[in-house]
Amino acid sequence: MTTRALLRVAVALIVGSAVAAQDVALTEGQADVSITLNGQQIIISRTQDTGAILTGEFAKTSRPCPAFCIQPVIPAAGVTPAGELEVIDFLGGNVANNTGLLIDARVPDWFNKGAIPGAVNVPFATLGSKNPYQADILRALGAVPINDGFDFSNALTLMIYGNGPWDAQGTHAVQALIAAGYPPALIQNYRGGLEDWLHLGLTTVLP
Amino acid sequence: MIRSVVALFAFAVVLCGYIVLRPSDNGRAMPVVSNDAAVTRAQTDAILAPVAATAILTNSAVIQAPQRNTAPGINVPVDNSTMVSTAANVLAGLGLNVDPNPDAVEDDPMRRMTAGVLSGIGAVTGNTVTTASQDPTPTSALELLVVQALKEGQNDDYIDTLVNEAATAGTITVPEILVTSDGRVDTHVLLTSIIAQATIAAGGVAPTAPERPEGVEVRIVQRATESQQYRFYTVRSGDSLGAIAMNFYGDVGKYNLIFAANRSTLSSPNNIRVGQRLTIPDA
C-alpha cells in the first residue's frame, strides 16, 4: 500500500466522521421547532443518532388483523389527511392561537408511555355516544349546545392520531366525532400516528 | 512523510473507534415507560349533610298525592334529562350538594376518563369545562320553577298546578318519565324523588319498595326446567313511568328496567296509556 493510498483512506475517514456528526434536521435548514402553548414551551426535533432504529412495539410489521387492520388515511369523507410536517404546523398555528387541538385518541395506558408534544389525551371511547359525559367533551371542544344538539360553528379544528397505520383508535375517534355532528371540515387525521412519528426520531414527551 | 501519514492514520483510527463506541443516545428514540397514569379524578365535593334543609323539604313537600285533574290529550314537552339529575339539580338550587348520579360507582371509568380529558383540554386551551355531574346547578326551566316554589314554601298542590300550567303553555320541558298516562306532569314523583335524594344525602336510608305495590298481577310461568315469576301492572289514570318505578322498586331511576322490558309496546317512556299492561322485571 502506498502512502498516497493511506492518505486517501485517512481523509475519507475524517470526512465520514464529519458527516456523522452533522445534525438530523426536520427539513433542510430547519433543525427544530419551538412552540409556546398556553405559556408552555415545547421543542420538536429529531434524534441525532443516525444509527438509531426502532425496537419493541413500534417495530412490529405483522400484527393480527382483524384487530389491527390497515387504516384509511381519510377515515370519513371531508376529513383532511396529514403527515408529520402538517402536525408540526398545526401545533405552531391552530393550537398556538387557540383555534385547534392535537388529540391523542389512544387509551391512557398508551398515552402515558409517550405522546406527541402538545397533544391532549381524548381516548376514542370518551367521544362515543355510549359515554354519558360525551356532551361535556363536545362543549370543551367549543361546541355550543342548542335545542336539538350542538352548534359547531365556533368549535376547534382537531388533529387526531392513534398508534399508527395499523391502529383503529384514531379512526374510531374521527368517526365518533362525525357521528356526534362534528363537521368533517374541522377534522384532520394523522394516520401515521405515534409509530411514524417515532420512526422519524421526532420528539415525544411523557405526560 | 511516511511518519506523518502514519500519525494521521492513527488519529483517524482513534476517531473511528470513538464514533463506533461512543455512548449512543438511542434512548431518545423510544419513549420510556412512564409511571402511573396522570389522569386525575375531579371528584364531586363531599356530600353535605343537609339535615335542616331536609326537614324544610319534608314539611313543604309531604308525600301526598297531588290532586290530579284528568285532562287527556295535552302534549307535555319532554326533554332528555333524567329524573335523578333533575331532582339533584333542584336540591343544588336549594343549596344542597348531592351527587346527581348515585348509581354510578366510584370508579366509573368513563367519568374518570372524561374528567381527565376535560382537564387536559383545559390545560391547553385555558377554557375550563366541568362535567355536568361536577356542576349540579339548576339549568332547566322546570328545575328553576320547582326551586323557586320550594323556596317560597309552596305546597304540593300549588307546585303541581304551577308545573302543569307551565308545561301546557310550553314554557318548560320535563323528563319523559314524568309524563303521565293522561298527558300531565307527575310532580308527585318528582317531589318524592327530591325528598329521597335529600334523605340519602343527609345520611338517611334510601326508601325501599313497598311490600306489595297496588294493582300488581303476578303470574308464575312453568317451564321445563324452571318456574319464572312474572309481574304485570296495568296502567291507570295519572300513572307515570317514574311513579310506577317508584312503586315497584322504590327508585324512579330504575324506570329503565320497565322501559327495556316493554320496548315492544312502549315507544318512549312518556307514552304510557291507561289500560296498558306492562311487564315488571325483577330489580
pLDDT digits (tens, 9 = 90+) for B53-71: 444 444 444 444 444 444 4
Q: For A37-80, what is each residue's pLDDT tens digit? A: 888 899 999 999 999 999 999 999 999 999 999 999 999 999 99
* Rounded distance between C-alpha atoms, residue B89 and residue B111, angstroms: 18
Write the DSSP symbol of residue A73: S
Q: Indicate the residue of A17, A55, A108 with minimum beta-carbon distance to B116.
A: A108
**Which SS3 state, helix, strand or coil, does residue A35 take?**
strand
The highest-confidence range among A60-74, B91-105, B151-165, by mean pLDDT, is A60-74
Distances (CA, A) of A148 to A9, A139, A176, A191: 76, 14, 18, 32
Does the distance separating the beta carbons of A38 and B132 come in below 8 Å? no
Residues from chain B contacting residue A109 (CB–CB below 8 Å): 37
pLDDT greater at residue B10 or residue A172: A172
**Chain-centre distance of CA B11, in angstroms?**
75
Residues from chain B contacting residue A9 (CB–CB below 8 Å): 9, 12
Nearest to A118 by CA among B124, B2, B283: B124
* Rounded distance between C-alpha atoms, residue B140 and residue A27, angstroms: 54
Percentage with pLDDT > 90 across chain A? 82
User: How confident is residue A166, by pLDDT bands cut at 50, 70 and 90?
Assistant: very high
What is the pLDDT, as a whole number, of residue B15? Answer: 59
**A17 shares contact with chain B (CB less than 8 Å):** yes
* Rounded distance between C-alpha atoms, residue B100 and residue B140, angstroms: 15
Residue B20 class from Cβ within 10 Å (0-12 exposed, 13-18 middle, 19+ buried)?
exposed
Omega before B281 cis (within 30°)? no
Q: Indicate the residue of B6, B124, B132 with minimum beta-carbon distance to A37.
A: B124
What is the pLDDT, as a whole number, of residue B9? Answer: 65
Predicted ipTM of the assembly: 0.80
Angle (nearest 5°) at CA A28 between A24 and A34: 70
Dihedral Cα B270, B276, B281, B283, nearest 10 deg: 50
For residue B9, give the chain A residue with the closest CA: A10
Q: In the A/B pair of chains, how many CB contacts fall below 8 A?
A: 139
**A49 shares contact with chain B (CB less than 8 Å):** yes
Does the distance separating the beta carbons of A137 and B118 come in below 8 Å? yes
* Rounded distance between C-alpha atoms, residue A182 and residue A149, angstroms: 11
Interface test with A, best of B2, B19, B32, B34 (most A CBs within 10 A): B34
Distances (CA, A) of B145 to A82, B38, B98: 50, 41, 19
A50: alpha, beta or left? (left if phi > 0; alpha if psi -120 to 50)? alpha
What are the residue ranges of helices labelled H in chain A?
3-20, 84-90, 108-111, 134-140, 169-179, 193-199
Domains of chain A: 25-199 (3.40.250.10)
Q: Indicate the residue of A13, A47, A55 with minimum beta-carbon distance to B15.
A: A13
Task: Report residue A106 as a C-alpha cell.
Answer: 389512544
Residue A26 neighbours by CB distance under 10 Å? 18
Residue with cell 369545562: B129
* Rounded distance between C-alpha atoms, residue B8 and residue B79, angstroms: 86
Whether pLDDT at A10 is above 50: yes
Whether pLDDT at B109 is above 60: yes
Dihedral Cα B263, B264, B267, B268, nearest 10 deg: -20
Q: Indicate the residue of B19, B118, B123 with minimum beta-carbon distance to A136.
A: B118
Mean pLDDT for chain B?
69
User: How confident is residue A188, by pLDDT bands cut at 50, 70 and 90?
Assistant: very high
Residue B76 neighbours by CB distance under 10 Å? 21
Task: Report residue B250 as a C-alpha cell.
Answer: 322504590
**Which SS3 state, helix, strand or coil, does residue A161 take?**
strand
For residue B81, give the chain A residue with the closest CA: A132
Quote the radius of gyration of chain A (alpha carbons, Å): 21
Write the DSSP symbol of residue A82: -
Does the distance separating the beta carbons of A121 and B39 come in below 8 Å? yes
User: How confident is residue B179, by pLDDT bands cut at 50, 70 and 90?
Assistant: confident
Q: For B19-35, what is each residue's pLDDT tens digit? A: 555 544 444 444 444 44
Distances (CA, A) of A161 to A105, A124, B96: 6, 10, 42
Residues from chain B contacting residue A207 (CB–CB below 8 Å): 34, 38
